[in-house]
């Protein structure tokens, strides 16, 4: 697999440093508000990445995403609405996890909160001061940029050009205007913690250094996030890690492009944004995922209702095929049964398209090419169905298996949530997921009769479970079956 590494500005061969378990750190939200739709892009891109490498490489991914639950924005928000910082953080942390579930992403293995890692951050800052890479002034602590000759390597900025172009507020307390804050002295009424420099709180850039090392250990394989984080956030993480520890920090730095709206950067401060939750409610997670993944993750993407509607139609085209073939309940072809020439050619074309999909994903996670291959398969299957002889139709279940296998990492078909028009807030999908989890546990305990009973009873309710290497997938088949019978 080749990935574009922002640090070296080139495509490089990637594999986990120990060959099978990869550490993936994706910078998480500051929980002062709900996420806007642009914030969702890294979540979906790196969820698909994680699912893909698990399914197609067999690598296990340890996924860490921090929660920034104390910072200036949170304090402002709390003051605005007359709540404590803790209350605001708790509310929007909950909203964040609710969104992750609605997006149907695999939850992070670790979601460390900044406020639960203050001691470790203080230790890191102490270490930086001891090593001459940071200095305290009047209860604040700043990182000394001049201690790092390599500063600017990730973003490709020259220090002089940064100083000239920087709108960093000139502070007479700093040795260099670019020196960044590691510890902020508390103002009255702000949340604060004790430290050798007095009461205060850590700056944002420190938490990711502490948490990534804590939860990934030596597995510092991939650090990811939006390209707006390259400077200063990621640059400042690297500077701290290099100054504090005599060992390498992350090997690969992956950055997704920004979401724009009518060509302008989408942001809360400009007011041209939509809340992610509202968009997901209207279009469903599969459509939103399709919309993002049908553009290469590094490219900028313009948000539009037209784009989402096109994604919705594309998702429906795939789902319809799967439901139709499923509804026909075709007996799959036996192993020994010889295939007719047409069917054999069909199976070969499908295999070639599977390879095309894999090649695209291996080439800097090109989900655009991968989705193209899935749609080509759908086209092939539709053509084949229209003309195939009865005996050859036994290859169709296998074709659908393939569609499921390839759609699964993208999340454009998995799960059973209704894509449209079901805004009733039904808990049915969660209940089905619950039963599937229960069934998995029963199978682990080798209670296969009970596990099979769950599957059969769900089947009786029109919910078909399919076991795949990525876990059990489910979908509703009752409606299609009935409409075929009538
Ligand atoms: Zn971060």
Specify if 41 maps to a domain. Answer: yes
Q: For residue 68, how far is its CA from the centre of ligand 1 (angstroms)? A: 9
Total structural domains within the chain: 3
Q: For residue 208, how far is its CA from the centre of ligand 1 (angstroms)? A: 5
Q: Find the domain containing 87 and state its range.
A: 2-283
Per-residue pLDDT at 366 exceeds 70: yes
For residues 202 and 182, what is the distance between their CA atoms, to the nearest angstrom?
6
Q: For residue 250, how far is its CA from the centre of ligand 1 (angstroms)? A: 12
| pLDDT score at 163 | 56
Beta-carbon count within 10 A of 482 CB = 11
Report residue 416 as tokens: 């059973």
Residue 318, domain CATH? 1.20.120.640
Choose the final residue of a domain: 225, 250, 283.
Answer: 283
pTM of the model: 0.84
Q: Are residues 28 and 150 in the same domain?
A: yes
Q: Are residues 113 and 251 in the same domain?
A: yes
Q: For residue 319, how far is its CA from the centre of ligand 1 (angstroms)? A: 37
Residue-wise burial string across 106-141, b where 16 or more C-beta atoms lie within 10 A, e elsewhere: eebbbbbbbbebbebbbebbbebbeeebbbbeeebb
Q: Are residues 18 and 145 in the same domain?
A: yes
| pLDDT score at 168 | 52
Q: Are residues 435 and 404 in the same domain?
A: no
Choose the final residue of a domain: 415, 450, 470.
Answer: 415
Q: For residue 72, how far is its CA from the centre of ligand 1 (angstroms)? A: 16
Q: For residue 152, how far is its CA from the centre of ligand 1 (angstroms)? A: 17
Q: Are residues 107 and 215 in the same domain?
A: yes
Q: Are residues 250 and 331 in the same domain?
A: no
Specify if 108 maps to a domain. Answer: yes
- Torsion on CA atoms 365, 369, 375, 376, rounded to nearest 10: -130
Beta-carbon count within 10 A of 317 CB = 13
Report residue 31 as tokens: 């929980």
Q: Are residues 366 and 468 in the same domain?
A: no
Q: Are residues 220 and 349 in the same domain?
A: no
Q: What is the mean pLDDT of residues 42-69?
A: 97
Specify if 300 maps to a domain. Answer: no
Q: What is the mean pLDDT of residues 417-446?
A: 70
Q: Are residues 78 and 119 in the same domain?
A: yes
Cα→Cα distances 7→46, 179, 245, 252, 255, Å: 18, 21, 19, 7, 10
Q: Are residues 113 and 152 in the same domain?
A: yes
| pLDDT score at 485 | 40
For residues 478 and 295, what is the distance between their CA atoms, to the nearest angstrom?
34
| pLDDT score at 363 | 98
Nearest to 466 by CA among 384, 402, 391, 412: 402
| pLDDT score at 161 | 58
Q: What is the 3-state secondary structure (H, E, C) of 117-179?
A: CHHHHHHHHHHHHHCCCEEEECCEEEECHHHCCCCCCCCCCCHHHHHHHCCCCCCCCCCCCCC
Report residue 107 as tokens: 């939850």
Q: For residue 46, how far is its CA from the centre of ligand 1 (angstroms)? A: 15
Specify if 474 maps to a domain. Answer: yes
Q: For residue 167, how far is its CA from the centre of ligand 1 (angstroms)? A: 22
Q: For residue 27, how far is its CA from the centre of ligand 1 (angstroms)? A: 4
Q: What is the mean pLDDT of residues 458-476?
A: 79
Specify if 299 maps to a domain. Answer: no
pLDDT tens digits, 162-177: 554 455 555 568 999 8
Q: Are residues 189 and 237 in the same domain?
A: yes
Q: What is the mean pLDDT of residues 281-293?
A: 96
Per-residue pLDDT at 302 exceeds 70: yes
| pLDDT score at 159 | 66
Q: For residue 343, how far is its CA from the centre of ligand 1 (angstroms)? A: 51
Q: For residue 224, how far is its CA from the centre of ligand 1 (angstroms)? A: 9
Structure confidence at residue 273 as a pLDDT band (50, 70, 90): confident
Q: For strand 21-26 and strand 181-185, is the pairing parallel, antiparallel, or unpaired?
A: unpaired
Choose the final residue of a domain: 368, 390, 415.
Answer: 415
Specify if 298 maps to a domain. Answer: no
Beta-carbon count within 10 A of 476 CB = 18
Q: For residue 136, how far is its CA from the centre of ligand 1 (angstroms)? A: 23
* Residues around the ion ligand 1 (C-beta < 5 A): 27, 208
Q: For residue 234, how far is its CA from the centre of ligand 1 (angstroms)? A: 7
Q: For residue 246, how far is its CA from the centre of ligand 1 (angstroms)? A: 21
Q: What is the mean pLDDT of residues 269-288?
A: 91
Q: For residue 25, how far is its CA from the centre of ligand 1 (angstroms)? A: 8
Q: For strand 21-26 and strand 222-226, is the pairing parallel, antiparallel, or unpaired?
A: parallel
Q: Are residues 52 and 153 in the same domain?
A: yes
């Amino acid at each position: 697999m080749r990935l574009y590494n922002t640090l070296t500005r080139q495509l490089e061969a990637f594999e986990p440093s120990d060959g099978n378990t990869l550490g993936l750190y994706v910078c998480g939200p500051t929980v002062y508000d709900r996420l806007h739709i642009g914030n969702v892009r890294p979540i979906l891109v790196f969820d698909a990445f994680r699912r893909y490498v698990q399914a197609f490489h067999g690598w296990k991914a340890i996924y860490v995403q921090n929660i920034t639950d104390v910072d200036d924005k949170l304090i402002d928000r709390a003051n605005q609405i007359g709540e404590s910082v803790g209350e605001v953080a708790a509310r929007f942390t909950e909203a964040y996890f609710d969104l992750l579930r609605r997006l149907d992403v695999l939850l992070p293995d670790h979601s460390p909160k900044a406020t639960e890692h203050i001691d470790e951050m203080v230790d890191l800052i102490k270490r930086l001061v001891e090593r001459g890479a940071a200095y305290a002034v009047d209860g604040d602590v700043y990182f000394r940029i001049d201690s790092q000759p390599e500063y600017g390597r990730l973003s490709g900025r020259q220090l002089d050009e940064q100083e000239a172009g920087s709108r960093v507020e000139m502070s007479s307390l700093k040795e260099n205007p670019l020196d960044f804050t590691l510890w902020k002295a508390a103002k009255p009424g702000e949340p604060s913690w004790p430290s050798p420099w007095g009461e205060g709180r850590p700056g944002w850039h420190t938490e990711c250094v502490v948490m990534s090392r804590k939860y990934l250990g030596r597995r510092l394989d991939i650090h990811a996030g939006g390209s707006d984080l390259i400077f200063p956030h990621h640059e400042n993480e690297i500077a701290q890690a290099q100054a504090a520890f005599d060992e390498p920090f992350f090997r690969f730095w992956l950055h997704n492009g920004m979401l724009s709206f009518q060509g302008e950067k989408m942001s809360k401060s400009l007011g041209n944004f939509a809340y992610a939750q509202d968009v997901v409610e209207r279009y469903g997670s599969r459509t939103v995922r399709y919309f993002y993944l049908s553009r290469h993750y590094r490219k900028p993407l313009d948000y539009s209702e037209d784009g989402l509607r096109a994604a919705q139609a594309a998702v429906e085209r795939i789902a319809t095929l799967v439901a139709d073939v499923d509804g026909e309940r075709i007996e799959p072809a036996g192993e020994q049964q010889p295939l007719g020439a047409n069917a054999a050619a069909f199976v070969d074309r499908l295999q070639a398209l599977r390879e095309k999909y894999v090649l695209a994903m291996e080439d800097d996670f090109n989900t655009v090419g991968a989705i193209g291959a899935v749609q080509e398969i759908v086209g092939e299957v539709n053509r084949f169905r229209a003309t195939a002889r009865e005996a050859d139709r036994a290859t169709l279940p296998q074709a659908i298996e393939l569609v499921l296998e390839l759609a699964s990492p993208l999340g454009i078909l998995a799960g059973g949530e209704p894509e449209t028009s079901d805004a009733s807030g039904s808990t049915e999908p969660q209940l089905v997921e619950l039963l599937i989890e229960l069934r998995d546990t029963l199978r682990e305990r080798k209670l296969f009769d009970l596990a099979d009973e769950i599957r059969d009873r769900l089947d009786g309710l029109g919910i078909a479970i399919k076991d795949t290497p990525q876990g059990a997938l489910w979908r509703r088949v009752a409606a299609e079956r009935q409409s075929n019978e009538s």
